[in-house]
Amino acid sequence: MGKLKKCLFLEDFFIVIHIVDKIPKICKNSGISINFNYMNKKAKNLLITGFVLFLGVFSFPYTVSAVTEVSGVILENTTWIVENSPYVVNGGISVSPDATLTIEPGVVIKFKLYLGYPSGMVINGNLDVQGTEANKVYFTSYADDIGGDTNGDGDASVPGPNNWKGIKVEINGQADIDNAVIRYGGYHVPNCSYSFCYDALNNLGTLNLTNSEISYNGTGWYAIKQLSGPLNIDSTVITDNGGTGVSIKGGAVQINNSIISNNGGYGVGAGGNAELTLSNNIFENNSKDVYLTGNALFSHSNNTSLGGNYRGFYMYSYNPPNGSVWNEDDMPYIVDTVAILSGSALTIEPGAVIKMGDASSFLWVLGVLNVQGTDENKVYFTSIKDNTVGGDTNGDEGNSVGSAGQWERIIINAGGLANIDNAIIRYGGFKPSGCVSQLCFGVINNAGTLNLTNSEIIDNDWYGIYQTAGTAMIDSTIIARQSRGIYLPSGNSSLVIHNSLIFNNTGYGILNYSSNTVDATRNWWGDPTGPYHYVLNTGGLGNAVSDGVNFSPWFNYDPTTQQPPIITNLQQFRLDEKVEMVEGESTANNLIIFESLLTDQNEENVKMQVELKEYNQFFDEQNLLESDYVSSGNLASITVNDLPKGDYKWRARAVNETGFTSEWKEFGEISNIDFSVVSIGQAAADLATTVIDGDYLGDAQNYGGKGWDIVSKQYVNTSSVIAGYNYYHAKTVIVDGELRKGNSIYFDDGLDCSGLVQWSYNRSYDPFNFRIKNYILEDSAQNQYWRNSHAVNENELDDGDLMFFGYDDTAGRHVTHVAMYVGDRGNYNVVHAANKASGIIVANKEDLKTLNFFNDDTGFRRAINRIAAVRGYAYVASPVDLVVTDPEGNKITTSTVVYFDNEMSVEVPDELYYTAGELGDDGRPKDMVYWTKDKVGNFLIKVVSEANTSPTDTYSLFFNVGNNTITLAEDVPISEIPKKGYGVSVSDTGTIEEFTPVNIDIKPDSSENTINLGSNGSVPVAIFGSDTVDVKNIDLNTVNLASASIKLKGNGDAIVKYEDLNSDGYDDVVIHILTEVLQLTENDVKATLEGVLMDGTLIKGSGLIRVVP
């Protein structure tokens, strides 16, 4: 033969044409060969001429006796129509790369033998099959009488598998096949080395198959073979094929809404690096419904198997690609051998069922396994014979049942990681006969890392968990009904198990030969007495434990039948008023309350146990505090008094009447300080730092914010200082362009300088007591300097001490500002409410000392507790204001305003102070006048109605000294306010007594009221009548002035005269007092008259006098 120049393969025809020395050579796979080198020229020319004629016939369709016979190469766009149907492919046909073959509805294409070999079709270009539901397109055997008895033999020939080859889609070809029936193909060429040797459909390009049927193809091979490119199958029936329905070696395949049944091989088989997606398909009676091997990437949803011996996704020597997800479906996973390779991760979602195919099946974890079941939707690892989940997977109609040892195990290799949550693993643990390898034991065999939670390891052969190395963290898991629950052979491994149930294992619950102690505390061992240990718990009736197992404490109840009590909502408070403390808060109060919500599902009474420790101590369940029993669903509390200063932590648990206990629950974050008991100064300093960058509330000559919310009646928390609160505004001013009336309530945020001090201390000390019963009484920096602090040296400064700023003049020290020293806080040690522009800011002491208004000698001071400073007070519920005159004649009203340089106060300095700390029922402030020194004598208290009040509005008035309080008025209408007010006398022992005030005039005809104690005469005194006193009702026998009685006539009657002296419409009376018995001295300037009305009401009145010898 000459040199081979070119070879054209028409493998569809089973003919190969060679051009040798420019002379064609025709060869057939059968071995037919013509060698032109041995022919003479004439013979060669004759043969060439015949060959050219042969090609002309062979390359173009021709019609023979009412059919359209086709073969060769389609070089241009061509349409096969039903009028020319059936089309008979004789020898083979192909569509060239630039051509499209369109096949209309109803067309029948039959393939006949050529030279003894079946025909086929190759798509290098495009195939567009346009069948309809009513008019399918058929690709079938020449012997198939669909479309007529084309071969003309009547019933002599019967179609069957392998009658023709198939349709091959080449790499750049595309076939869109809709509503077609492809049957009786799949011929297998003997000794064929090509990829297109035994498939009804063979795809290397793009194949879209919809609404079609692939049936009765092949004998033991494939109906559809996928090699590369995309394959999309939808709404198609793949049935009764001799071999596998769809065999996938590569490319991306989607099969949806199809029926795959009665195939002699697998329904679908995938291997290599193929991608397979199955959705909404029905499988039935295939040898295996779905078969996966190699590294095929697989996903699925809503598939169903109706029959067969392997009704699921069968996996043999399968390595899930990284990122694979197994999810719930109507078909389970059937594992023969699966390995998650190093660097790969497999996630198993809730509800997935994994069944092991036989006793040698296993799952090997060299990479990462994440099992993500839920309490409602567990993941199952079980036997193929287990029909209780995933259905009758092995198709024996329920004749087999799951039992121990029906599959091997999950093996976690060194370096592997298994996170298993909410899984049930059962019926495994098979140990091959004679196997001595450590890989032969346990349904879970761990040498890597195992995290097992909320799961069940039950009914397995030999050991539940066999750990040879690595670590295991197990929680809330049942390990039961194995020979041994957990076995650790010799070696270095770590295992921790808590909150779990280890029971009914025939040998040990835990048997440990490793070099590390197993932490197995807080588990149920099958009996309230705990696990049996031959030394440590000889009375234990639960599963046995070996040495090297720390099992105490254990659960004394069975969580499967009994539930422990539950403890939630742990809170901590200070003071009886229950001021909540957040984690890490410091307090100056050493009364701490611990509280929690306790519930018991058995409706037993429950108590709380608290373990309180100093922060540097360990919890050891010693010296527990206990509450009283409460009914389920109620709060329990424990109060601790007199805690020494220090940092503390605590935890609590619930205990019911049976003795069942909850888990210990630690307050806050583990390892954090829960609270600290500190000095009041430290607590105030810590609190002051929480409002840094807050606003300044106040202005010059304006009563600023003190942090007291007059509505909620408390010193507010930090967030309210920042966000705003309801504060009492004493004087009418303009603030930020807004008119704010005095004696009113406004909502605003921030503090002024003295307010920062008052709020920090008083909230730390007792947030629910107004300043008159709290640590810092004074409202202004001036008064805090003089009355609420004492001087300290700079080298004695402690957290919470104060720095005062001001100036001195002839009137004394004028304080204009106060700041708080908070100790070293890194870049600052002072916090102060600087001014309205700057707000609450930080500073350094050394910098502030350089200011002109700071005096090193007197500027450092320490706050003193003024909680007992108030000696008495009068307060009235709105809508009235107070006018109070004390025994010394000091008088205070709402207008008695004292201005300091940057602040103001309503006060008579050192004597009387006017404030408001609460609201009345009508929402108006309750006015209060208080004093800080003991006052003995008579108080005159008048009430004055505020603006915009109704005569029917009512008020109530109270007076207090020490522990004594009297009610002067209760729900009295405004229209009945007594003009003379109310009188209260205070004795030197603190006794208080109410009286009705009267006006008197001593010596009414004299302007000097001179009294000569040496005179033997009498002193006239006028008692004026009023709306509250009818002078004719005075019991004259009870009247005295300065302890001197009234002068009587000779007949014993009083010398009196009734007349309206001041022309006010009320009768007045003039009496005479014996001068010689007046209890007066030359230094007295006032004399008091007392008497009693006929109804027993005490009356008092005072007048100015001048005593002469």
Tell me the angle at which helices 753-765 and 680-688 cross, rounded to the nearest 10 degrees. Answer: 130
Euclidean distance between CA atoms 931 and 914, whole angstroms: 9
Euclidean distance between CA atoms 1093 and 1101, whole angstroms: 13
Residue-level pLDDT at 334: 97
Q: Are residues 1004 and 952 in the same domain?
A: no
Q: Which of 5-19, 245-259, 640-654 has the lowest mean pLDDT?
A: 5-19
Other CB atoms closer than 10 Å to residue 952's CB: what's the count?
8
| Domain final residue pick, 647, 677, 707 | 677
Euclidean distance between CA atoms 459 and 42, whole angstroms: 89
Q: Is the pLDDT of residue 464 over 60?
A: yes
Residues with Cβ < 8 Å from 717, sequence gap 6 or more? 763, 767
Distance of CA 573 to the CA centre of its chain: 24
Euclidean distance between CA atoms 710 and 1076, whole angstroms: 56
Residue-level pLDDT at 912: 96
The single residue listed with the structure tokens 């996170």 is: 419
Per-residue model confidence as pLDDT tens digits over 486-543: 999 998 999 999 999 999 999 999 999 999 999 999 899 999 999 999 999 999 999 9
φ and ψ of 1032, to 5 deg: -75, -10
User: Is residue 597 in some structural domain?
Assistant: yes
Other CB atoms closer than 10 Å to residue 918's CB: what's the count?
17
Q: Are residues 709 and 819 in the same domain?
A: yes
Percent of the chain at pLDDT > 90 equals 74
Beta strands 304-305 and 282-284 are: parallel
Euclidean distance between CA atoms 918 and 924, whole angstroms: 8
| Domain final residue pick, 808, 833, 863 | 863
Q: Are residues 818 and 884 in the same domain?
A: no
User: Is residue 545 in some structural domain?
Assistant: no
Residues with Cβ < 8 Å from 737, sequence gap 6 or more? none
Q: Is the pLDDT of residue 938 over 60?
A: yes
Per-residue model confidence as pLDDT tens digits over 70-103: 999 999 999 999 999 999 999 889 999 999 999 9
If residue 721 lies in a helix (H) or strand (E), which one and from where to where? helix 718-723
Euclidean distance between CA atoms 72 and 119, whole angstroms: 11
From residue 592, give the alpha-carbon distance in Å to each of 638, 760, 818.
Answer: 8, 19, 32
Residue-level pLDDT at 37: 41
Task: Determine the average pLDDT of the residues in 184-197.
Answer: 70
Identity of residue 11: E
User: Is residue 810 in some structural domain?
Assistant: yes
Q: Is the pLDDT of residue 18 over 80?
A: no
Q: Are residues 616 and 698 in the same domain?
A: no
Residue-level pLDDT at 899: 76
Q: Is the pLDDT of residue 220 over 90?
A: no
Residue-level pLDDT at 435: 81
Task: Determine the average pLDDT of the residues in 921-940.
Answer: 90
Residue-level pLDDT at 12: 37
Identity of residue 490: S
∠823-826-831 over CA atoms, to 5°? Answer: 50
Rg of the chain on CA atoms, in Å: 53
- CATH number at 585 reads 2.60.40.10
Q: Is the pLDDT of residue 30 over 90?
A: no
Q: Are 971 and 1004 in contact (CB under 8 A)?
A: no
Q: Can you read off the two tokens belonging to residue 705?
A: 């914010």
Euclidean distance between CA atoms 295 and 136, whole angstroms: 37
Residue-level pLDDT at 809: 78
Q: Are 611 and 664 in contact (CB under 8 A)?
A: yes
Q: Are residues 714 and 831 in the same domain?
A: yes
Q: Can you read off the two tokens belonging to residue 479?
A: 């390990």
If residue 253 lies in a helix (H) or strand (E), which one and from where to where? strand 252-256
Q: Are 444 and 466 in contact (CB under 8 A)?
A: yes
Q: Can you read off the two tokens belonging to residue 742?
A: 């005095």
Residue-level pLDDT at 50: 41
Task: Determine the average pLDDT of the residues in 200-218.
Answer: 94
Task: Determine the average pLDDT of the residues in 161-188.
Answer: 94
Edge-to-edge strands of the sheet including 830-835? 789-791, 860-863, 802-809, 812-821, 830-835, 839-843
Burial 294-303 (b: 16+ CB within 10 A, else e): ebbbbebeeb
User: Is residue 631 in some structural domain?
Assistant: yes
Euclidean distance between CA atoms 906 and 306, whole angstroms: 93
If residue 478 lies in a helix (H) or strand (E), which one and from where to where? strand 478-480
Task: Determine the average pLDDT of the residues in 157-175.
Answer: 93
Q: Are 838 and 832 in contact (CB under 8 A)?
A: no
Q: Please, what sign has the CA dihedral across residues 851, 853, 856, 860?
A: negative
Per-residue model confidence as pLDDT tens digits over 861-917: 999 999 999 999 999 987 899 999 999 999 999 888 887 666 778 899 999 999 888
Q: Is the pLDDT of residue 59 over 90?
A: no
Task: Determine the average pLDDT of the residues in 451-455.
Answer: 97
Residue-level pLDDT at 730: 63
Domain count, the chain: 6
The secondary structure of residue 286, as a DSSP letter, is B
Other CB atoms closer than 10 Å to residue 509's CB: what's the count?
30
Domain ranges, residue 826: 680-863
Task: Give 843: exposed, middle or buried? Use CB within 10 Å, 0-12, 13-18, 19+.
Answer: middle
If residue 50 lies in a helix (H) or strand (E), which one and from where to where? helix 41-59
Nearest to 181 by CA among 155, 153, 146: 146
Per-residue model confidence as pLDDT tens digits over 556-613: 888 778 888 999 999 999 988 899 999 999 999 989 999 999 999 889 999 999 999 9
Euclidean distance between CA atoms 458 and 567, whole angstroms: 30
Q: Are residues 9 and 107 in the same domain?
A: no
Euclidean distance between CA atoms 677 and 673, whole angstroms: 11
Q: Are residues 687 and 815 in the same domain?
A: yes
| Domain final residue pick, 204, 219, 234 | 219
Q: Is the pLDDT of residue 40 over 60?
A: no
Q: Can you read off the two tokens belonging to residue 741?
A: 């009336």
User: Is residue 829 in some structural domain?
Assistant: yes
Per-residue model confidence as pLDDT tens digits over 632-658: 999 999 999 999 999 999 999 999 998
The single residue listed with the structure tokens 């932490």 is: 519
Q: Are residues 648 and 727 in the same domain?
A: no
Per-residue model confidence as pLDDT tens digits over 1045-1055: 998 887 888 88
Residue-level pLDDT at 520: 97
Q: Are 565 and 661 in contact (CB under 8 A)?
A: yes
Q: Is the pLDDT of residue 133 over 80?
A: yes
Residues with Cβ < 8 Å from 687, sequence gap 6 or more? 718, 759, 760, 763, 764
Beta bridge partners of 359: none
Residue-level pLDDT at 702: 52
Q: Which of 110-119, 782-791, 1019-1028 has the lowest mean pLDDT?
A: 110-119
For residue 553, give the 3-state DSSP assignment: coil
Residue-level pLDDT at 704: 78
Euclidean distance between CA atoms 425 and 444, whole angstroms: 9
- CATH number at 740 reads 3.90.1720.10
User: If you write DSSP's letter for every residue of 995-1013 in order, what string do you get?
Assistant: EEE--EEESTT-SS-EEET
User: Is residue 814 in some structural domain?
Assistant: yes
Q: Which long-range contacts (CB under 8 A, 24 or more apart) does 1-7 make?
A: 1/25, 1/35, 1/37, 2/37
Confidence of residue 663 (pLDDT cuts 50, 70, 90): confident
Per-residue model confidence as pLDDT tens digits over 703-733: 578 999 999 999 999 999 999 999 877 665 5
Residue-level pLDDT at 47: 41
Beta bridge partners of 244: 222
Q: Are residues 194 and 110 in the same domain?
A: yes
Q: Are residues 1024 and 884 in the same domain?
A: no
Nearest to 454 by CA among 434, 424, 482: 424
Q: Is the pLDDT of residue 785 over 90?
A: yes
Q: Are 698 and 758 in contact (CB under 8 A)?
A: no
User: Is residue 239 in some structural domain?
Assistant: no
Distance of CA 875 to the CA centre of its chain: 49
- CATH number at 1080 reads 2.60.40
For residue 54, give the 3-state DSSP assignment: helix
Q: Are residues 688 and 832 in the same domain?
A: yes
Q: Is the pLDDT of residue 5 over 60?
A: no
Q: Are residues 955 and 923 in the same domain?
A: yes
The mean pLDDT value of the chain amounts to 89
Residue-level pLDDT at 734: 56
Euclidean distance between CA atoms 409 and 430, whole angstroms: 7
Residues with Cβ < 8 Å from 275, sequence gap 6 or more? 251, 252, 253, 296, 297
Length of the chain: 1109
Percent of the chain at pLDDT > 70 equals 91
Residue-level pLDDT at 733: 58
Q: Can you read off the two tokens belonging to residue 18?
A: 């060679």
Euclidean distance between CA atoms 246 and 263, whole angstroms: 10
User: Is residue 317 in some structural domain?
Assistant: no
Q: Is the pLDDT of residue 297 over 60?
A: yes
Q: Which of 39-53, 275-289, 519-533, 831-845 has the lowest mean pLDDT?
A: 39-53
From residue 487, give the alpha-carbon distance in Å to each of 451, 494, 534, 966.
Answer: 16, 12, 18, 80
Q: Is the pLDDT of residue 39 over 50?
A: no
